[in-house]
Structure 1
Amino acid sequence: MPIYPAGSLNTAALQAPDLYIQIVPPKTRYINGVATDILGLVGIADWGPVNSPTLIGSPGDASQNFGIQTVRKYDLCTAIAISIQGGASNIRAVRVTDGTDTAATSTLKDTATATGATLTAFYTGTLGNSLSATLSAGAAASSWKLVVSLPGVAPEVFDNITGTGLGLWQNIVSAVNNGQSGIRGPSQLVIATVGASSTAPATTQTVTFTSGTSGNATLTDAVLIGVDGVTGSTRKGMYALRGSGAQVANLIDLTDSTQWPTMLTYGLSEGCYMVTQGPAGASYATVSTSLTTAGCDSYALKVMVGDWVYWQDQVNGQKRMIAPATFSAAKIAALSPNQSPLNKPITNAISTQRNLSQQPYSIAEIGAINTARLDVITNPCPGGSYYGHRSGLNCSSNSAVNGDNYTRMTNFISLTIAASFGGVIGQLQTPDVRRTTKSTMESFLQVLVQQGMIGDVNGGPAFSVQIDASNNPDSRVALGYMQADVQVKYLSVIRYFLVNLEAGQSVTVVASATPRAA
């Protein structure tokens, strides 16, 4: 009684009489949507991997991977802190440098002051200069213990290292680089290389690290953009986010409008919503001119007015002026993709340049900002006296696609379909394959209806999926094509609430014939 997966048995050429069982997968598969809360950040730091998207989910992750927030332009840790406060808890952070960054180093000596082992910081950056290493007697007799320390990080202890002469130094290096089997893993703070010494170490020595640099001296907005490459190892800056799943990205403090077309192209190719802004203090008229000059007219880019936001930095004990895209991108990433940030509170903003100068926007100015395809964070909002977005728009001039929710939902559905139906390639185009593909798409879209993410408020159908002979004629099928035509209706964001009020002594009020419920 042989058992076969469906499709692996040629049922038209059986020879031996027997019972043949084929395992047929369910006709309808259920798929889950891709994550929409991944926020990509690109900036500078004094520690951590360079041009590599690092998962950050908490303030502790940030300090361990990149150090502490610093008062400076492009600071990655500052943007992470603001983003986490704003509700973003699934961050892919990319550290960039100007290429001059170096790793701090130190040496362990023998009794004759010759080098037994060189310790190099695991990452480049000035934070590596805070490293220290202590070599002393181990817990076991005739053994040694190495402790590597970095402020704010749990010390790494390599104990009971044995050996003599050069063999001891080799064992110390092996413990650091490879870990101690069954005891601890390799160091995440330093990399060790053996020296030339064949003499015992000097008793109880503590060494500090020097010469670490962060490579932050000659940074420009172009460094945040970086360069693309065929593989992850050659991608730099923004392009390091490729394949990370980030659906919202913020290149921290970037204001150079000549870079916006490049950002837009990346956003379209990756299904990522790119959020940026004008320079600090730039009016909406100035930023609007920059947007027009840049020629960016697409749903993949969002540009904030140069009215920067103030934030209370608890670590450095001061009120700081921060680029608005840092707040905006975090808020958008924290929201469900069907939601607009329009009129939603941004709780960690304490003021803006305009609010601090007591120059609130007029309704006419808010209208001009909307017309200019820009957005701004200000207070008050229509819902109350809090800071929030006042347009909820991307840079498209097409009113059918210019809402933030259009960008987010379109990317969400597109990326989910792309991630779920690659298995169709290589199959035979049969009625079963068509039905299974269609029903799986419909099941996913029906879930979105049930979750209140898509729909027709007036009762019409929320979606349709077509995969049949009418859109797959023989001439196309013969060439290997299978086409699905999918239509989805998004729920509309209320932008204007019009109330017609008739009031006065002469008004005649007609009571409803239907009794009012208690």
Structure 2
Amino acid sequence: MTIYQSGQINTNSLNVPDLYVQVLKPQNIALNDVSTGRIGLVGTATWGPVGTPVIVGSMGDCLSAFGPKQALASDIGTAVNIAIMQGASDFRCVRVSDGTDAAATGTLDGVSLTAMHTGSAGNALSATLVADPIITTHYTLSISHATLGSRSYRGTTWAVLATAVAADSMALVRIGLPSTVPALAAGSVTLAGGADGAAPTTAAFLGTDGATRTGLYALRGQGCALGILAGVSDSTSWTTQAAFGLGEGVYMIACGPAGDGIASAVAAKAAAGLDSYAVKLMFGDWLWWNDDTNGTMLVPPQAFVAGLLGGLSPERSSLNKELYGAIGSQKAGLVSGGTSQTYSTAELSALFAAGIDVICNPAPGGSYWAVRGGISTSSDGVSDDDSYTRLTNYLAETLNAGMGAFVGEVISATLFGDIRAVLLGTLSNMAASGILASASWAVVCDATNNPQAETALGYVRADVQVRYQGINRFFVVNLQGGASVTLAAATAG
């Protein structure tokens, strides 16, 4: 007897009588869900690789990867901080620069130490070389930073230390040895000369989409459901963001410039030709935020919205959900200042009719900061809600991630049945988790929509229809009062 794995034996070519055990793969009855809360964030930082997506799951991760926060609208750390407060916990962050970024450097006895990454955070890196108090030929090189952490290396020569540093994937510096390497000697140095390059252009934020991807395009294939170009309010970027969002299944959260007016915002959107369910455009009424590092800051609304949506299931809208950490807005002023100017119905109507959303206080549910419209920039009333974009992307990405396994299979009734089973199982699981309503889908994959003329050419088609759950946007309560009102027995309480 011989045991074979699935596909290792051709049962039609057997000529020796024997027992053949073939281990088959478990039946795939549903697809694995894709992430609906991952945020792709492009911004500036005081440390970290430029143009490379970095996984961040907490503020500790962010500070270690990108250094201390800065009081900038484009700062990655600030945006991550705000988004985490709203419920987000999964980020892919890409640092951009204006090209003037530089790595901090220092020397110990002619041996050069260069910060692993560019940025001003490197200027606080200290390197200390001390001899072992017992074995004096052994030295310890310690590299430390209050935010980035510390790394230590032991060796008897600079060459040994340089090798140890080069082998450390978490190293904070690189060591450059001179042609004549000195003997080890105790000493210390603080690196200097690091620069952030923290004023990148819109083009730098968008990046390039070639063999080496940078900026926004570095987020391709990262599985992001939401996207932010932190602090970018340039209307010329909006249609590019829309194209990226459509192609990657990413809901891009854009914004207008700080202190914008409603009329100018409406005009800018029209001039840009922006009309897409892939982009949510926030009005340029920026928010005041009390940062734990930089104090009171005026920040763009993007991270609040992305963080909120990142913590919500894909069938839900941002409309009327409470936001945390905002202490005022440009229109309302600082809460501590006692001002509370609000939006009129006419102002909100003008924004929403143009496909522009806004964060304000109060909300329909009470006196708290919230997204007031829950809409995208689409002019189609069927596809202009957050939930349409997010659920459509979720369904499409889930199918795209798993249905490719059927390519290359023999076209038969069995294949049709297997495809239907996986699709129905996947949709049923979504209903069980509340993403879809019960029995709100239809799947056809059989001979009726796969005629022989098409299957003979290798085509197989599965037609999937899914009815989404609506969002309560216009809640009407009919109240009838008076002494003459006659109560219906079935509704009297």
1:15 maps to a residue whose letter is N
Residue among 353, 369, 381 paired with 1:371: 353
1:301 maps to a residue whose letter is V
Q: Distance in 2 between matches of 1:212 and 1:314?
A: 24
Runs of 4+ in 1 over 4 A off after TM superposition: none
Does the 8 A contact of 1:223 with 1:237 survive in 2? yes
2:165 maps to a residue whose letter is V
Residue 28 of structure 1, CA deviation: 4.1
Kindly report the root-mean-square deviation, in angstroms, between the aligned alpha carbons of the 2 structures. 1.8
Residue among 145, 153, 157 paired with 2:140: 145
Structure-to-structure mapping, 1:1-150, within 5 angstroms: 1-109=1-109, 115=110, 117-138=111-132, 141=135, 142-150=137-145
Q: Distance in 1 between matches of 2:227 and 2:306?
A: 7
Deviations 1:151-193 (A, max 9, x none): 223321112x12xxxxx22112112112xxxxxx455201112
2:42 maps to a residue whose letter is V
Structure 2 residue matching 1:365: 3-state secondary structure? helix
Q: Distance in 2 between matches of 1:380 and 1:199?
A: 68
Residue 352 of structure 1, CA deviation: 1.3
Does the 8 A contact of 1:27 with 1:436 survive in 2? no
Does the 8 A contact of 1:139 with 1:145 survive in 2? no
Residue 27 of structure 1, CA deviation: 3.7
Mean CA deviation greater in 240-249 or 501-510? 501-510
2:305 aligns with 328
Q: Distance in 1 between matches of 2:299 and 2:370?
A: 15
Does the 8 A contact of 1:379 with 1:386 survive in 2? yes
Structure 1 residues 425 and 197, CA, compared in 2 at 3 Å: closer, same or farther? same
Percent identical among aligned pairs is 41
Structure 2 residue matching 1:446: 3-state secondary structure? helix
Residue among 463, 468, 471 paired with 2:441: 463
2:377 aligns with 395
Residue 291 of structure 1, CA deviation: 1.1
Does the 8 A contact of 2:46 with 2:69 survive in 1? no
Residue 140 of structure 1, CA deviation: 5.2
Structure-to-structure mapping, 1:406-421, within 5 angstroms: 406-421=388-403
2:166 aligns with 177
1:338 aligns with 315
Structure 1 residue matching 2:472: 3-state secondary structure? coil
2:196 aligns with 214
Matched, 1:228 2:217: no
Mean CA deviation greater in 384-393 or 29-38? 29-38
1:285 maps to a residue whose letter is A
Matched, 1:259 2:242: no
2:230 maps to a residue whose letter is I
Structure 1 residue matching 2:36: 3-state secondary structure? coil
Unaligned runs of 5+ in 1: 110-114, 163-167, 179-184
Residue among 280, 283, 286 paired with 1:302: 280
Deviations 1:402-435 (A, max 9, x none): 1100100111111111111221122222322221
2:148 maps to a residue whose letter is V
Q: Distance in 2 between matches of 1:423 and 1:28?
A: 10
Q: Distance in 2 between matches of 1:20 and 1:172?
A: 58
Does the 8 A contact of 1:226 with 1:238 survive in 2? yes
1:210 maps to a residue whose letter is A
Does the 8 A contact of 1:177 with 1:187 survive in 2? no
Q: Tell me the TM-score normalized by structure 2.
A: 0.95
1:382 maps to a residue whose letter is P
1:400 maps to a residue whose letter is V
Does the 8 A contact of 2:68 with 2:121 survive in 1? no
Structure 1 residues 495 and 198, CA, compared in 2 at 3 Å: closer, same or farther? closer
Structure 1 residues 299 and 455, CA, compared in 2 at 3 Å: closer, same or farther? same
1:156 maps to a residue whose letter is R
Residue 94 of structure 1, CA deviation: 0.9
Q: Distance in 2 between matches of 1:186 and 1:225?
A: 29
Structure 2 residue matching 1:310: 3-state secondary structure? strand
Q: Distance in 2 between matches of 1:471 and 1:399?
A: 30
Residue among 482, 485, 490 paired with 1:507: 485
Structure-to-structure mapping, 1:464-479, within 5 angstroms: 464-479=442-457
Q: Distance in 2 between matches of 1:91 and 1:335?
A: 15
Instruction: Kindly tell me the number of residue pairs found equivalent between the two proteins.
Output: 487
Does the 8 A contact of 1:343 with 1:381 survive in 2? yes
2:247 aligns with 269
Deviations 1:261-283 (A, max 9, x none): 10000000100000111111112
Does the 8 A contact of 1:175 with 1:186 survive in 2? no
Q: Distance in 1 between matches of 2:124 and 2:487?
A: 77
Q: Distance in 2 between matches of 1:104 and 1:302?
A: 39
1:221 maps to a residue whose letter is T
Residue 30 of structure 1, CA deviation: 3.2
Structure 2 residue matching 1:417: 3-state secondary structure? helix
Structure 2 residue matching 1:335: 3-state secondary structure? coil
1:131 maps to a residue whose letter is L
Unaligned runs of 5+ in 2: 334-338
Does the 8 A contact of 1:121 with 1:189 survive in 2? yes
Residue 494 of structure 1, CA deviation: 0.3
Residue 388 of structure 1, CA deviation: 0.3
